Chains A and B, each alone.
Chain A
Amino acid sequence: MNLSRIIILARRVAQQLVADKRTLALIIVVPVILLTVAGVLIRVEPSGLTIAVVNQDEGLALGGQSVNLGDRLTENLQNFDLFDTKLMTTDDAKRQIENGDLDAVITLPPDFSAEVAQSRQLNLNVQFEGSNPTVAERLRNAFEQVGDQALAGLATLQAGNESDGNPSTAAIETNLQATYLNGGPEFDTLDYTASALIGVFVFLFVFILTSISFLRERLAGTLERLQATPIQPLEIIIGYMLGFLIFGLLQGVVTLLYTVFVLNIHYHGNLLNVFVIESLLVVVSVNLGIFLSTFARNEFQVLQFIPLVVVTQVFLGGVLWPIEEMPGWLQPIAYMMPLTHANTALRAIMMTGESLGGVWVQIVALVAIGVAVIGLSARTAGRVRM
C-alpha cells in the first residue's frame, strides 16, 4: 500500500470531475430540483379523509338538565368540512382503520361527559392511521378545534360542578390523547422522505459516476496503462473512493442545507454524523460501481445497472414504504441493501438527533456491506478484461 499513489489517483479523479463542469453542476442541481418537486407534492392539502366516531357516551344529569357531550362533539365533527364522519362500533372501527379505510378513530367512552365534568379536561382518545403524517397533523388540529367548539356555550359545565365542592371558573381545555398506528406527531412526510433522499442522491450520483468512469478507464485503455504501473488494485479503489468522497460530501452539504433552510424540514441532527453515514455510503457505492462496470461492455449497458441497483434500493430500502410492511420473504433482501441501513440511520440522526452510538447497528451493517463490495471490486479492478 502506497499512500502517494493513492493520492495521485484520487487527485486525478477529482481533476476529471472539476474539468467536467456540467456534471459537477448537475450533481448539485438535480437533487435540488427533485427535492423541490417532492416538497411541493408531499405538502399538498390532503382530501378524501374519513374518520369514525365510536360514541358510547351515556351523558350526564347536571342540575336537572341532561348533557351529552359525546353527541355535541359528534355533531360538530359531522359539520366539519375537512373529513367525512361516520358513526360505528368499536369492532368496525378497528377493522376499518387497519384496512386503511379510516384515517382516524375517536372513541368516546360511556363516562365521557362525566369524566369531563370531573377532571375539567376534555380528553379525546384518538387513534390515527398515521402512515401519512401530513394527514394526521391536519386531523389533529381539526379535532382540537372541534373539541373547543363542543365545550363553548356549555355554560353549566363551564361554571363548574357544584356537587364536588370545588367551584372553578377555569376554562376546560381540550386535551388530545393520541395514539398512532404509524409515525409520530411531530414530523411530516417530507421530513421522513427528505432525510432518506439525501442518502439516495449521494448513492445514485457516486454509483453512476464511478461505474461510467471505470468503464471508460477500461475502454480507453488507461486501465491497461495503470496495470503497467506499480499501483495495486486496492490502491486504485481507495483512490477512487477518496476522489468521489469529496464530491459526495459536497453534494450532501448542499442538499442538507437546502432541505433544512428552504424546504424547512425538521432537523435535529449533527452534520458530522450525517457525513459519517454518507461516507460509508460512498464507499459502498464506489465499489459497487467498479464491480458492476466490469460486466458492461459499453455505456448503455452500465446505464441499465442504474434501475437495477438504485431503483430497487429506493423501492426496498424503506424510502417510500416501511420495510416492516413488506412481505416476509422480501425483508431479508431489503436488509441486505446498503440504502436500507443508510436511510434508517439518516432518519434517526436527522429527525430525532440520534448519536452515532444510537445507529451503531446500521453502521456495522454498512461497514460489513462495504468490506464485502471492496472484496468484489478489488478482484475485478486488477483485470484489464473480463
Chain B
Amino acid sequence: MTNPEHEPVKIEGVYKKFGNVEALRGLSLTIRRGEIFGVLGPNGAGKSTLIRSIVGLIKPDQGRVVVLGEAMPNKPILSRLGYMTQASALYDDLTVRQNVAFFAGLMGCKEDAKIQTALELVELAHRADSPIRILSGGMRQRVSLASVMAHQPEIILLDEPTVGVDPQLRAQFWAHFRRLTEQGITIIVSSHVMDEAERCDRLGFIRGGQLLAEGSADALRQQAGKSNLEDAFLWFAQQKGAVQ
C-alpha cells in the first residue's frame, strides 16, 4: 500500500499554524505516481503552505509528509524534486541561461544539453543571454519553469505556474506536463483557474487548510450533482460548513 514507487507523496494529518492563523488543519492526501494532481482553492486556502510542506520548507506542527519514501524535511531527496514558487524567483542581473544553469547545477545537473532543452521547451532559447531584468512578466514565469525542470525531477511541484502566461503557451505547457507524466513523472499543481483544473487527473479541493474533497473532475461534479467545477467546489464548501 505505502510503496513509494506508486505513491511518491503521502501527506498524513498535517497541521501548521502561523501565529494564530491555522494554515493547514490536519490535511491528509496521497498523490499517485505519474498523475497530474491539482490543488484547488481560494486565496489563503493553504495551497502554497501545502506545497511548501511537501518540499520540506515548512516543518508541520503535527502530522508528517513522506516523499519518495523519506520523511520531509530531507535535503538529499530535494534533487529529485522541482519546486516552482508562486512568484517567479530569479536573479535579475543574471541571464536566462545563467539562472537556469544555476538552479539545475545545485540539483546536480551540469549538462548544457539539458539546460538547452529546458530553454527550448519554454521557447526562450533565443533570449538565453538576456538578463532577467529586461524580460516581461510572462517570460520570467517561463524561465522559472525551465529552471525547475532542467534537472529532470521525478516530482514537479508548481505553485500557480501559468499566471501571466499567454493562452497559446499555456496550452503548450499543459501538453508538456502530460508528456512528462507519460514518463512516470508526477506533477502537483496549484491553481484557482477552473479550466486548468479540467486538465488534471485528480483534484483536491481545499479551503481553510482542510481538504473538502478529492477525485477526478468528473467524479467531483457527479458527487456534487453540478455541471461545472466551480459550483461543485461551492457545494462541497457548503457541505463542510454544514457539518461544522
Contacts and interface: CB of A to CB of B under 8 A. Distances in A.
Contact of B85 (A16, A221, A232): A221
B193 interface: no
A228 B102 contact: no
Contacts of A228: 55-57, 78, 81, 83
A225 B89 CA distance: 7
A20 interface: yes
Contacts of A5: 105-106
Contacts of A230: 75-76, 78-79, 106-108
Interface string A92-107: 0000000000000000
Given A12-B91, A16-B93, A221-B89, A232 B106 contact: no
Contacts of B108: 4, 230
A16 B94 contact: yes
B106 A231 contact: yes
B98 A224 contact: no
Contacts of B75: 230, 232
A222 B144 CA distance: 11
Contacts, number: 63
Nearest to A17: B93
Contacts of B76: 230
A12 B98 contact: yes
A220 B90 contact: yes
A2 B89 CA distance: 24
Contacts of A229: 78-79, 103, 106-107
Given A12-B94, A16-B94, A224 B106 contact: no
B131 interface: yes
Contacts of B94: 12, 15-16, 19
B163 to A, nearest CB: 14
Given A12-B94, A12-B102, A19-B131, A224 B107 contact: no
Contacts of B169: none
A131 interface: no
B93 A8 contact: no
Contacts of B107: 229-230
A12 B81 CA distance: 22
Contact of A225 (B79, B85, B92, B93): B85
B75 to A, nearest CB: 5
B87 interface: yes
Contacts of B81: 228
A263 interface: no
- Give the one of A226, A228, A384 with max B CB within 10 A: A228
Interface size of A as a range = 20 to 34
- Give the one of A15, A226, A229, A230 with max B CB within 10 A: A229
Interface size of B as a range = 20 to 34
Contact of A15 (B90, B98, B106): B98
Contacts of A9: 106
A8 B105 contact: yes
Contacts of A222: 89-91
Interface string A226-244: 1111111000000000000
Contacts of A4: 105, 108
Interface string B46-76: 0000000001110000000000000000011
B55 A20 contact: no
A386 to B, nearest CB: 13
Given A12-B98, A15-B98, A232-B75, A226 B106 contact: yes
A142 to B, nearest CB: 57
Contacts of B91: 12, 16, 220, 222
Interface in A1-42: 4-5, 8-9, 12, 15-16, 19-20
Contacts of B102: 8, 12
- Give the one of A16, A225, A227 with max B CB within 10 A: A225
Interface in A362-386: 384
Contacts of B89: 220-222, 224-225
A329 B94 CA distance: 48
A215 to B, nearest CB: 14
A220 to B, nearest CB: 6
A15 B101 CA distance: 12
Interface in B103-123: 103, 105-108
A221 B87 contact: yes
A166 to B, nearest CB: 82
A229 B102 CA distance: 11
A225 B103 contact: yes
Interface string A188-224: 0000000000000000000000000000000011101
Contacts of A227: 57
Contacts of B83: 225, 228
Nearest to A20: B93
Contacts of A232: 75
Nearest to A235: B106
B3 to A, nearest CB: 24
7 contacts: A5-B106, A224-B57, A224-B85, A224-B89, A228-B81, A232-B75, A384-B57
- Give me the 7 closest cross-chain CB pairs, A-B, nearest first: A221-B89, A229-B106, A19-B93, A8-B105, A228-B83, A222-B89, A230-B75
Given A228-B57, A232-B75, A384-B57, 6 more contacts: A4-B105, A9-B106, A20-B93, A224-B89, A229-B79, A231-B106
